[in-house]
Amino acid sequence: MILTVTDFGVAGPYLAQMHAAARVRAPDIPVLDLVADLPSFQPVRSGYLLSALAPEFPSGSVFCCVVDPGVGSDRGALIVHANRQWFVGPDNGLMAIAAQRDPQARVWTLDWRPERLSASFHGRDLFAPVAADLARGTQVSSTPIEPGRMIGADAPPDLAEVVYIDHYGNAMTGLRAATLPADAELLTGRQRVTRAHTFADVQPGTPLWYTNSSGLAEIAVNQGRADRVLDLEVGTPITVHATEAGDA
């Protein structure tokens, strides 16, 4: 399958245009919208969410990744093969964490260009057609490079910041919950948030953090909005405190 990963939002024609561009070249392969409301113009933070979401999908899945504030500039375009999945998108850090987490990752600069390439919509004109070709197993003109040459290759493996806020006001961090001590508390600047298994473990209106369905540490308020109660936004720094291990 092909999965779109964008900051477009669902309004407007953009997602449908990307679907159409992919289906023209691969009519029998489903195209799904994985996430369309990534933080606008923030590819590096979005990369932490992408790398957490991708393992849920089968080997051979193709992620068409378009958080691209540098579209039309001289920024590069990449194909990445990591954890038996494909990623195609701009060289701006969006796919770097996915590559970083696979020691066997392979990376290519994307050399192919279509006859029609708009200055402002490479998602439709460049990345969607390449995603379709990768899904079909068609060779794409590209040049191998070392993964360390990707922009964002030196990013920290976990990011102690809010990277995404969902419809309910829950704040996903760039921290993998499995890397945190069992007794870790998350300090948001205004409040120390304790760990719970799920929402019902705390009273309504009480903040908590938990391991979300993609393995990230997520901050929530039971039956409330963590972003409003705790004054959180994308980029808010998070401090990890554990009774035994001290601050991190």
- State whether residue 149 is helix, strand or coil: helix
- Residue among 151, 36, 140 at smallest CA distance from 96: 151
C-alpha to C-alpha distance for 237 and 189, rounded to whole angstroms: 8
- Tell me, what's the pLDDT at 10? 93
Q: CATH 3.40.50.10790 in the chain, residues?
A: 2-149
- Tell me, what's the pLDDT at 129? 98
Amino acid at 115: E
Give the pTM. Answer: 0.94
CATH number of the domain at 159-247, out of 3.40.50.300, 2.40.30.90, 3.60.40.10, 3.40.50.20?
2.40.30.90
CATH number of 2-149: 3.40.50.10790
Q: How far is CA 230 from CA 158, 162, 237, 241, in A?
A: 22, 12, 12, 17
C-alpha to C-alpha distance for 103 and 55, rounded to whole angstroms: 15
Q: CATH 2.40.30.90 in the chain, residues?
A: 159-247
Total count of residues recorded for the chain: 248
Tens of each residue's pLDDT in the chain, 248 residues: 999 999 999 999 999 999 999 999 999 999 999 999 999 999 999 999 999 999 999 999 999 999 999 999 999 999 999 999 999 999 999 999 999 999 999 999 999 999 999 999 999 999 999 999 999 999 999 999 999 999 999 999 999 999 999 999 999 999 999 999 999 999 998 799 999 999 999 999 999 999 999 999 999 999 999 999 999 999 999 999 987 645 55
Structure tokens given for 96? 């770097």
Q: Is 14 left (phi over 0), alpha (psi -120 to 50) or beta?
A: alpha
- Residue among 104, 107, 97, 66 at smallest CA distance from 83: 104
C-alpha to C-alpha distance for 77 and 178, rounded to whole angstroms: 32
Q: What is the DSSP string of 75-125?
A: --EEEEEETTEEEEEESSSTTHHHHHT-TT-EEEEE----S---SS-HIII
- Tell me, what's the pLDDT at 23? 97
